[in-house]
Structure 1
Amino acid sequence: MFHRSIKLKIVAALLVGVVGIALVCMALTRFVYERAMHAAAAQAVRNAQATFDGLERADVDKLAALLDGLVADERFKAAFVARDRERLQQLAKPLFDELRDEHSVTHWYFIDTDRTCFLRVHAPQLRGDRIPRLTLARAAEVRTYSAGKELGATAFALRVVKPLYDGDKLLGYYELAEEMDHFLARMKKQTGDDFGLLVDKDFLDAQAWARMRANNHERDDWGDRPHTVVVDSTTGGERLFDSGRRVKEVPDDGLVLDNLDRSLPHQVRGVFPVRDAYERKVGMVYVLHDTSRLHAGVDEVRVRVVAVVVLMALGLAALVVFLLEALVFDRLARMTAVVENLPARLQSGDYSVGGEIVPGPDDELGRFERFFSRFLDALGGTLRDLSGERDAARRRNGR
């Protein structure tokens, strides 16, 4: 039974090896899965950032084209130069309503040469204030278009400003702007992901924020986060936007975040910064990318890989056991049987025991088999000679 215990030990070792291989495969596929999730999140962040920038460029071009049409309209120019604010409002209001409905324009300004507001078509009661915005200052400096994102008291607006000239004489400025609250919805439509736009509180006014939330019949959430507020999102799960990270800490090319919500294991998160016209990092866009389909695909591949590897390992183990049985244990069993029967055969006078061992292939065990066969031949011959001498002595003594 000794060879059987060795066999069991070998089989047990092989089974342990198969289990070890399966565990290693599972660990490797888990590593591959995590890398795939990270790559998917990084790609989602890159796609979202490219989409955001593309929407901004497209809307700047749109607003610039609309401004070209407005500057070319002599009716607005005549009323502006004549300082006829009422006439200008009457002319502009119907067109502004059309621009708002069809092109998402939310602000239309006529601005004097000293950069004070002559007329806000969207809010005609507010006028006479000096406008310190960078886009307006740049338009005055370069004497042509200026565009950029500027942060107001509670939200972003994309602004395009164009000077109005009569020859070389500056008559004032036209400005069109749109609030960027529709950007995220358009991004979701294009990518299928969810988004949240957060702004650093350092660039907002807490009282204005509270008034805005009250006017919209919403809870004042200024204190929900230590450094930022959510100004827009495409999902109600705003808890997913919590990371404790400051806006200024987000790298320019974006960042993949850990999934803090374990109830959504197949959703990866990332974030990229949003800069204003001053090139300050004032906000960040969170990207929530659903990886359910990717997870299902990777999980299916993982099961298949583990199954194939385990089956191959089991097949290899079976082959090893078969080879050990054929090349080692069967031959050892034959030699053991000869040794076990050796005393009885020798006692009965059968000294041809060496012929019971048939050497196998010329391997380590085959060389031992030949040695063992010669040993048994020598042993049998010696005993045969001794038995013959004993018989001869008995016959002599008998005479």
Structure 2
Amino acid sequence: MNPLDLHLKQKILIPLSLVLILVMIISSFFFYNHQVKVWENNQISLNYKLNEHFEDTIKQNVSMMQVAIESLEHDPEIINNYKEQNRDRLYQKIAPIYAELNQNHQITHFYFTNTNQTNFLRVHQPDRFGDSINRQTMLQAVKTGKPAWGLEIGPLGTYTLRLVSPLHQQGHRGGELIGYMELGMEIEHALNNLANELKVELVVLMSKHAIKKELWQQGMKRLQRNGDWSQFSSEVMLYSSQPALPAPLVQHIEQRHQHTPSDSEYTILKTDGSVYNIGFVPLQTLNQEENGTVMILSDITHLAQQLTQQIEYIILVTLFISLLYIITLYSYLSRIERSIFKSHQDAEAELLQSETRLKEAQRLGQIGNWVLDLKKHKLDWSKEIYELFQFDPKTTPPSYEKFLSIIHPEDLEQVNHTYTEEVKLQANCQTQHRLLLESGEIKWSEDRIETLYDREGKPALLRGTVQDITRHKEAEEKIEQASRAKDEFLASMSHELRTPLTNIIGNCEFLGEQESDSEKQKMIQSIEISGRSQLALVNDILDISKIESGKFTIDENPYNLNTLIDNIQHIFSMRMQDAGLTFKLEQQETFPNMVLGDAQRIGQILINLIGNAVKFTEAGGTVTLRLWSASEQLHFSVEDTGIGMTSEVQQRLFQRFEQADNSISRRFGGSGLGLYVSGNLAQLMGGSIEVESSKGKGSRFQLNLPYHPTNSAAPSQAQELKNSQVNQEELLGTNLNAAVLIAEDTPELQLLERRILESMGATVTTADNGKIAIELATAHHFDLILMDMQMPETNGIEATKILRAAGNNVPIVALTANVMQKHRDAFNEAGCNGFLEKPINKQELSHLIQQILQQHPASNRDA
């Protein structure tokens, strides 16, 4: 194996980096509006998070209070003291428990209330008792006879979470009802935790209609808080995580009461040099009254300043990032490449050396041998067998049982079967297995067995050889490891290059559709062409790897040859026109319509040959495609009037990374991989490619393939051919009318995929990772999910498995830069309904989505 030429890195990195810089500069103009939308979405998300976290906190605290009450209900001393109405003894018993609950769980209220709703004991205020308790939680517990809990506005104007539980003589709901036990906690500590967790400031406001001024002021004094009743006209502030509210914020709160707040209310407040995101979430009491509001305040001043700086210095930052990207990727590719080639060469050398030694051992007769006389039951081992088995010939007589004792336990059944059952079949055999020696060492052995029979056809003699192949096995394992490392490197390279190429090509398509200025369209088109050239190079490298590793397969199916040629004409018609070339098609009159073969690979070869003809032919020239059949062969000829080539160049034309000379690469571009891939594909299909050319007179490439006419056609072929010809106008007219969830961790690709799907009429929701995608798909209805593979938290494959295990039947399409066969297989096994490669082909995406939505009606998806 020869190392990849260093020019490969240059051809990948330099154009890719230049294109990346241009695209990022153009994209910066769209950045500001997008960022403002992000701020709004973040604040709305904060509103929902606060609401969810607050509800979870309430439920957790209620559960804690239920556990505490249940433990107290089973204390006979507490029950007896309360039943006997012994307030002092009950207080002495319960006071330490209350202190512990207050310290560890922030319990601030602890009541014992008689069955007539008269307070018997306030543990937190033992001097106050005898008053009537008529709160909603108490009334509900009295009415239902069951525990009741909820948020309530206390008489002093504070929000308190209360749990009231009936207390029975024989413990938990057993025996006579003797009263009610109540625990309560003010919500301020929960708000403090939420503010710290969400990294925001929180303010709790209450309508003045819900409380009385005097009682509220008493409550603020008792809680040692500074309360200003006159701060707002219609509301009072119960809590604030900020020491003092800015004046503009106070003014905003005062003006807010003119309209009704909701959980989705959102605004941006700008003050002197500061910018705030503000959201409001209502607080509901047990009787569903919304007398309070939690205001969420996020200071985004630094984000606004950062956005301004990013716009001002986007060019410099882009250049720096691009340079860092080039250096890092170049270093990464070089290091991995050297490591792979070195390990592969070392493994090959070691394997060669091992094979040489084994052959020499056979020549010198150093392979152990044995003979078993079945009639005399006598077994003989050679000296080499004793050495291999590490047995002492003086103390260990040869025996089959002793031989089996050193067979590795995992191979024992296989070896015993070979030495016993195979003999009955009267056939010579061999087997490879491991030896687990008494020293603990593990060796590999290859055994060959031959059976000799007597005149009656019965086994009379067994003989064989035992060969130590440990080094050979170790060398094979190292080669396999090197091959796996190579595959991982190619998969990683493909993913790392496809991801930015998806952004580059996709945004170029989007900008080209939006831009009306012809000069700018040409600039955008040139960027897109460069990106697609790099994509073609990546695909060629992957094809080379599959071909050289023997993993490339040809998929033969009936296909329409005329349709294939029409599609190729459609692909090159505009390109020929732009290049100022004439395209001719000459086809045999009596020509087969349906042919058996791999249409995709045949098309790939023809596109490469015609593309080269267009590339190397000046304006005014001609490119001719001829088709004919003869002698059970199908022939395709591509002829041009271009620059041609010498015979020396033709001899090395189908080698990797070969072009006429370096000036060809500089002038016309290309990597020298296309013809190498095409030649190998032709050979895999049982054909060949011939070339005729003269310097300055043009070239002629002829593809020869086995001719297999057929009358059958794939059931879905007509529809596939129809879909392959969908033009841009038809694509833009697509109206999917579907809710689509995009699981993608790259913000740039999220934006790109959203634009593409929304242009098709879809309603789009995005998730930054697989975990969020699972939550959204579980909580909401979607008609389709586009699932990336490599994401934080939970990757796309695991997310798909989790959704399928949960019974979620929403169609899922893998949309990923991981395009190796093992990645496709993993998504299929996880339960995906389709697979699409990045960069995104909008026609394929639209067709696949419509096809899947037709196969999976909404009624089935909801099931």
How far has the Cα of 1:295 moved from its partner?
4.2
SS in 2 for 1:154: coil
How far has the Cα of 1:169 moved from its partner?
2.1
Give me the identity figure in percent.
Answer: 22
1:255 to 249, 252, 265: 265
Following the alignment from structure 2 to structure 1, what is the Cα–Cα distance between the partners of residues 258 and 139? 26
Following the alignment from structure 1 to structure 2, what is the Cα–Cα distance between the partners of residues 273 and 302? 38
Summarize deviations over 1:174-223 as a string: whole Å, max 9, x none: 00001112122110221111111111111111012233444566655101
How far has the Cα of 1:125 moved from its partner?
1.3
Counterpart in the other structure of 2:664: none
SS in 1 for 2:164: strand
Following the alignment from structure 2 to structure 1, what is the Cα–Cα distance between the partners of residues 179 and 186? 23
Does the CA-based 8 Å contact 2:202-2:295 persist in structure 1?
A: yes
Summarize deviations over 1:247-288 as a string: whole Å, max 9, x none: 98222x3311231534322x3110110011111001110111
2:161 to 158, 161, 171: 158
Counterpart in the other structure of 1:228: 235
SS in 2 for 1:178: strand
1:40 partnered with 2:42: yes
Counterpart in the other structure of 1:326: none
Counterpart in the other structure of 1:274: 283
TM-score by length of 1: 0.66
Question: Structure 1 residues 193 and 228 mapped into 2: Cα distance closer, same or farther (>3 Å)?
Answer: same
1:173 to 180, 184, 187: 180
Does the CA-based 8 Å contact 1:227-1:246 persist in structure 2?
A: yes
Following the alignment from structure 2 to structure 1, what is the Cα–Cα distance between the partners of residues 145 and 183? 16
SS in 2 for 1:144: coil
Q: How many residues align?
A: 295
Letter in 2 for 1:272: V
| Structure with the greater alpha carbon radius of gyration | 1
269-278 or 36-45: which moved more? 36-45
Question: Structure 1 residues 30 and 184 mapped into 2: Cα distance closer, same or farther (>3 Å)?
Answer: same
Letter in 1 for 2:260: E
Following the alignment from structure 1 to structure 2, what is the Cα–Cα distance between the partners of residues 112 and 229? 34
289-298 or 144-153: which moved more? 289-298
Does the CA-based 8 Å contact 1:200-1:229 persist in structure 2?
A: yes
2:214 to 202, 207, 223: 207
TM-score by length of 2: 0.32
Following the alignment from structure 2 to structure 1, what is the Cα–Cα distance between the partners of residues 241 and 305? 25
Does the CA-based 8 Å contact 1:195-1:235 persist in structure 2?
A: yes
How far has the Cα of 1:97 moved from its partner?
0.9
Counterpart in the other structure of 2:137: 135
Counterpart in the other structure of 2:747: none
SS in 2 for 1:51: helix
Following the alignment from structure 1 to structure 2, what is the Cα–Cα distance between the partners of residues 274 and 214? 23
Question: Structure 1 residues 247 and 285 mapped into 2: Cα distance closer, same or farther (>3 Å)?
Answer: farther
How far has the Cα of 1:101 moved from its partner?
0.7
1:105 to 101, 104, 107: 107
SS in 2 for 1:281: coil
Does the CA-based 8 Å contact 2:47-2:264 persist in structure 1?
A: yes
Does the CA-based 8 Å contact 1:247-1:273 persist in structure 2?
A: no
Counterpart in the other structure of 2:58: 56
Following the alignment from structure 2 to structure 1, what is the Cα–Cα distance between the partners of residues 93 and 121? 12
1:190 to 188, 194, 197: 197
99-108 or 205-214: which moved more? 205-214
Unmatched 5+ stretches in structure 1: 1-21, 321-360, 363-399
Q: Which has the higher helix share?
A: 1
Following the alignment from structure 2 to structure 1, what is the Cα–Cα distance between the partners of residues 89 and 213? 37
208-217 or 42-51: which moved more? 208-217
Following the alignment from structure 1 to structure 2, what is the Cα–Cα distance between the partners of residues 248 and 176? 36
Question: Structure 1 residues 213 and 109 mapped into 2: Cα distance closer, same or farther (>3 Å)?
Answer: closer
Counterpart in the other structure of 2:691: none
Structure 1 vs Structure 2 CA RMSD: 3.3
Does the CA-based 8 Å contact 1:162-1:175 persist in structure 2?
A: yes
Following the alignment from structure 1 to structure 2, what is the Cα–Cα distance between the partners of residues 206 and 281? 19
1:283-294 pair list within 5 angstroms:
283-291=292-300, 294=303
1:1-399 pair list within 5 angstroms:
28-152=30-154, 153-166=156-169, 167-214=174-221, 219-239=226-246, 240=249, 242-243=252-253, 244-246=255-257, 249-251=260-262, 253-265=263-275, 267-291=276-300, 294-295=303-304, 298-299=307-308, 302-303=311-312
Question: Structure 1 residues 271 and 86 mapped into 2: Cα distance closer, same or farther (>3 Å)?
Answer: same
Summarize deviations over 1:113-141 as a string: whole Å, max 9, x none: 11110111111111111100111111122
Following the alignment from structure 1 to structure 2, what is the Cα–Cα distance between the partners of residues 50 and 117? 34
Following the alignment from structure 2 to structure 1, what is the Cα–Cα distance between the partners of residues 225 and 234? 20
230-239 or 99-108: which moved more? 230-239
Following the alignment from structure 1 to structure 2, what is the Cα–Cα distance between the partners of residues 126 and 232? 26
Higher relative contact order (CA 8 A, sep 6+): 1
Does the CA-based 8 Å contact 1:247-1:284 persist in structure 2?
A: no
Following the alignment from structure 1 to structure 2, what is the Cα–Cα distance between the partners of residues 139 and 212? 26
Does the CA-based 8 Å contact 2:274-2:301 persist in structure 1?
A: no
Following the alignment from structure 1 to structure 2, what is the Cα–Cα distance between the partners of residues 182 and 189? 11
Letter in 2 for 1:163: P
Following the alignment from structure 1 to structure 2, what is the Cα–Cα distance between the partners of residues 55 and 69? 21
Following the alignment from structure 1 to structure 2, what is the Cα–Cα distance between the partners of residues 36 and 81? 61
Does the CA-based 8 Å contact 1:107-1:121 persist in structure 2?
A: yes
How far has the Cα of 1:160 moved from its partner?
0.5
Following the alignment from structure 2 to structure 1, what is the Cα–Cα distance between the partners of residues 83 and 220? 39
